[in-house]
Amino acid sequence: QVQLVQSGAEVKNPGSSVKVSCKASGDSFNTYAINWVRQAPGQGPEWLGSIIPLFETPIYAQNFQGRITITADKSTTTAYMELHNLSFEDTALYFCARGGVRGSYSYFDFWGQGTLVTVSS
Amino acid sequence: DIQMTQSPSSLSASFGDRVTITCRASQSIGTWLAWYQQKPGKAPKLLVRMASILESGVPSRFNGFGSETDFTLTIRDLQPDDFATYYCQHYSDDSITFGPGTKVDLK
């Protein structure tokens, strides 16, 4: 059984960056994509990007290109998502989620508990 | 980019009812579609993948159907645990997009 445990809530100033971690336990960390999804209050989920730890090359949603960095540490089975130049509109619940099949684009079968990121001055 | 729409945005139903949620893609996506159930403050839960394949452990009262651009999620014999928000998700070789959601609440 796969478990994804995320880091705690963050409060950030506009223009700063936030880094959220996602610690995976269970099987096959290296070969399934870890995805990042966010959900603003009252909105549907929005996919930010993903990484397959074995290949170490992230892919990013077009809307976040240049403002997001996704990495993975195979030694600690932990994935990270860093979002830069935060604005108030980035206030959301951020989830990591495992891809259900091998490959970069998939449905998501296991999810972290979510990390609330609040951007406030 | 492929856009996903859902209808209705919300519906009210009673225990034991049958409800159907519709998801439409802006262009053909084959059967690359998943459905999720989400409760407030929690992560989405995968119900259906490949448009019609029920995830292990999901009750058989849930049914996914459709292909190309038009998809449905039907819940028959609505149970107390089914009152939630439901999202469709498209996944393909170059994009992942969620629908805006359908909230199912108690009439």
pLDDT at position A12 is 98
Contact B43 A113 (CB under 8 A): yes
Average pLDDT over residues A100-111: 91
Cβ-nearest to B100 among A44, A108, A113: A44
List, for residues A56-87, the tens digit of each pLDDT value. 899 999 999 999 999 999 999 999 999 999 99
* Cβ-based contacts under 8 A for chains A and B: 50
Contact B97 A47 (CB under 8 A): yes
Contact B91 A107 (CB under 8 A): yes
For the cut 80, the answer to whether the pLDDT of residue B93 exceeds it is no
**DSSP annotation string for B50-62:** TTTEEPTT--TTE
Q: What is the token pair recorded at A34? A: 């870890």
Q: Which amino acid, residue A58? A: P
**DSSP annotation string for B9-54:** SEEEE-TT--EEEEEEESS--TT-EEEEEE-TTS--EEEEETTTEE
For the cut 80, the answer to whether the pLDDT of residue B32 exceeds it is yes
- Contact in structure between B75 and B62 (CB atoms under 8 Å): yes
List, for residues A16-70, the tens digit of each pLDDT value. 999 999 999 987 888 899 999 999 999 999 999 999 999 989 999 999 999 999 9
